[in-house]
Amino acid sequence: MTIVKQFSKYVSLNILAMLGISCYILADTFFISAAQGADGLTALNLVLPVYSIIFAIGSMLGTGAATRFAILRAKGDSSAERYFANAVEFAVIFGAVFMLVGGIFPQQVVSLFGGDPHITEVGAGYTQVFMLFAPFFMLNHICTAFVRNDGAPAIAMAATIVSSLSNVLLDYVFMFPLGMGMDGAALATGISPIISITVCCIHFFSKRNSITLRIAVPSMRMLGASCQLGASAFVGEISSGVTTTVFNFLILAIAGNVGVAAYGVVANFAIVGTAVFNGIAQGTQPLVSKAYGESDRAALRKVMILALSCAALLAVFVISIVMLFSEQCVSLFNSENSVQLAEYAVAGMRLYFIGFIFAGFNIVGTAYLGAAEQAAASFVAAISRGFVAIVGFAFLLSSMLEFTGVWLAFPAAELFTLFLTVAGLIICNKRMCKHEA
* Tens place of pLDDT per residue across the chain (437 aa): 688 888 888 888 878 877 777 776 777 778 888 888 778 888 887 888 888 889 889 989 998 898 888 888 887 777 777 888 899 999 999 999 999 999 999 999 999 888 888 888 888 999 999 999 999 999 999 999 999 888 888 898 899 889 988 988 998 999 888 988 889 989 998 999 999 999 999 999 988 888 877 777 888 998 988 888 887 778 767 777 777 788 888 998 898 888 888 888 898 888 888 888 988 988 888 888 788 877 788 888 898 889 999 999 999 999 999 999 999 989 888 877 888 989 999 999 999 999 999 999 998 998 888 777 777 888 888 888 878 898 999 999 999 999 999 999 999 999 999 999 999 888 877 776 665 55
> What would the 3-class secondary structure string for 36-98 be?
HHHHHHHHHHHHHHHHHHHHHHHHHHHHHHHHHHHHHHHCCCHHHHHHHHHHHHHHHHHHHHH
Please state the separation of Cα 258 from the chain's center in Å.
Answer: 25
Cα(198)–Cα(158) distance, rounded to whole angstroms? 11
pTM for this entry: 0.73
Say what the pLDDT of residue 436 is: 55
Main-chain dihedrals φ then ψ at residue 69, nearest 5 degrees: -60, -45
- Is 419 within 8 Å of 376 (Cβ atoms)? no
pLDDT of residue 295: 79
What pLDDT sits at residue 232?
72
Q: How far apart are the first and last CA of the chain?
A: 29
CA 420 to chain centre: 21
Q: List Cβ<8 Å contacts ≥24 apart for 166-170.
A: 166/191, 166/192, 166/195, 167/24, 167/27, 167/28, 167/191, 167/192, 168/23, 168/24, 168/27
Question: What is the total count of domains within the chain?
Answer: 1
Give the DSSP per-residue string, 346-409.
HHHHHHHGGGHHHHHHHHHHHHHHHHTT-HHHHHHHHHIIIIIHHHHHHHHHHHHHTHHHHHHH
Q: Taking a C-beta distance cutoff of 8 angstroms, is the pair 88, 213 a contact?
A: yes
- From the list 379, 338, 165, the residue with the least C-alpha distance to 255 is 338
User: Could you give the CA distance from residue 247 to residue 32 in angstroms, rounded to a whole number?
Assistant: 21
Distance CA 45, CA 221 (A): 36
How long a stretch of residues is the chain?
A: 437
pLDDT recorded at residue 355 = 94
What is d(CA 174, CA 357) in angstroms, rounded to the nearest whole number? 38
Which letter does DSSP use for residue 217 in this model?
A: S
pLDDT in the model for residue 434 = 61
User: Residue 85's domain spans which residues?
Assistant: 3-436
Is 54 within 8 Å of 137 (Cβ atoms)?
yes
* Distance from C-alpha of 182 to C-alpha of 43, rounded to nearest angstrom: 10
Residue burial 381-395, b: 16+ Cβ < 10 Å; e: rest: bbbbbbbebbbbbbe
CA atoms within 13 A on the CB side of 251: 29
Residue 75: phi and psi, rounded to 5, are -85, -5
Residue 109: its pLDDT value, please? 92
